[in-house]
């Protein structure tokens, strides 16, 4: 078994490199924002006969609306989300859909402004901040403050990786992005807590053991559980990505990135960062004592 703690700088560099690539993409390409953030049209069509979502998308593609979201909202009824359209563009596209697919009634055609995007962003940041504070308080109560800081640092790593990869891969960002981020935060912190709990148990049993060796031993003792857990989730997400349809493709892609990043940060970032923080704290106390 290789020594994770002694090689921790390698994992720090890997994390920083991935985050840096994502940040460069964010600055150059930006995020592929959906209509929840940019605004657009929400159209609900009820067809006279049974049609498939693929046939609706095919007609939309003829009018440069291939990136539109099409999902079922009832029997022979589809909800279509497009970028902002003029009245002329809207009439042309949806009249063509009606003609080519056997007739359709427009149940609603609403133009959504980008104001909702600002509200979503504010709520997402607020939710992330509240969750972070509550987790620090809980981990401080159960373990110690430095472990709380380390855990939040690992979660911040996961969020940055998700945002960066979403930019790099140009995954569309909509309201489900907030749900994906909060889901990964809950998933990742659970794995980190398990590792911290094993470290605490080993510290009680072996008080004289070198801290680096003790943390490394704890990581390897929980490694099988961490890998098995992430693989079972990844298998399900890959199946959903391949067979779940286009409507959940973006959400599942974000979850897949987050789950892999969360597993990595729990093992290779959270505990090593805590080890470094504890080492720095110990050195400062020793220095202060020597000065006194």
Instruction: Quickly list H helices, 101-174.
Output: 115-142, 145-168
Q: Does domain 8-33+116-281 have CATH number 1.20.1640.10?
A: yes
Residue 116 has pLDDT above 60, yes or no: no
- What residue ranges do the domains of the chain occupy? 8-33+116-281, 40-112
Query: Which H or E element spans position 247?
Result: none
Indicate the pTM of the whole model. Answer: 0.80
**Confidence band for 115, pLDDT divided at 50, 70 and 90:** low
Q: CATH number of the domain at 40-112, please?
A: 3.30.70.3400
Q: Which residue has the higher pLDDT, 128 or 117?
A: 128
Can you tell me the distance from the alpha carbon of 178 to that of 125, in angstroms, rounded to the nearest whole number? 9
Task: Tell me if residue 269 falls in helix, strand or coil.
Answer: helix
Q: For residue 93, what pLDDT band results from cuts at 50, 70 and 90?
A: confident
What's the whole-number mean pLDDT along residues 162-168?
A: 93
């Amino acid at each position: 078994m290789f020594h994770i703690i002694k090689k921790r700088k390698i994992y720090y560099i890997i994390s920083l490199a991935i985050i840096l690539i994502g940040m460069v993409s964010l600055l150059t390409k930006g995020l592929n924002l959906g209509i929840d953030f940019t605004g657009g049209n929400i159209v609900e069509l009820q067809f006279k006969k049974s049609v498939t979502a693929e046939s609706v998308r095919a007609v939309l593609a003829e009018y440069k609306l291939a990136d539109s979201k099409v999902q079922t909202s009832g029997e022979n009824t589809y909800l279509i989300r497009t970028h902002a359209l003029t009245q002329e563009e809207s009439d042309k596209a949806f009249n063509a859909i009606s003609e080519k697919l056997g007739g359709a009634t427009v149940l609603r055609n609403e133009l959504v402004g980008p104001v909702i995007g600002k509200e979503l962003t504010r709520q997402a940041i607020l939710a992330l901040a509240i969750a972070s504070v509550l987790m620090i308080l809980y981990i401080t109560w159960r373990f110690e403050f430095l472990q709380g800081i380390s855990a939040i640092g690992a979660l911040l790593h996961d969020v940055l990786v998700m945002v960066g990869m979403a930019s790099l891969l140009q995954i569309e960002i909509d309201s489900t992005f907030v749900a994906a981020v909060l889901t990964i935060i809950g998933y990742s912190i659970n794995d980190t807590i398990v590792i911290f709990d094993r470290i605490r148990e080993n510290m009680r049993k072996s008080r004289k053991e070198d801290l680096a060796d003790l943390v490394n031993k704890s990581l390897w003792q929980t490694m099988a559980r961490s890998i098995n857990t992430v693989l079972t989730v990844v298998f399900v997400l890959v199946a959903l990505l391949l067979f779940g349809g286009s409507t959940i493709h973006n959400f599942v892609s974000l979850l897949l990135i987050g789950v892999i990043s969360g597993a990595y940060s729990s093992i290779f970032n959270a505990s090593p960062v805590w080890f470094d923080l504890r080492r720095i704290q110990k050195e400062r106390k020793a220095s202060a004592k020597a000065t006194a």
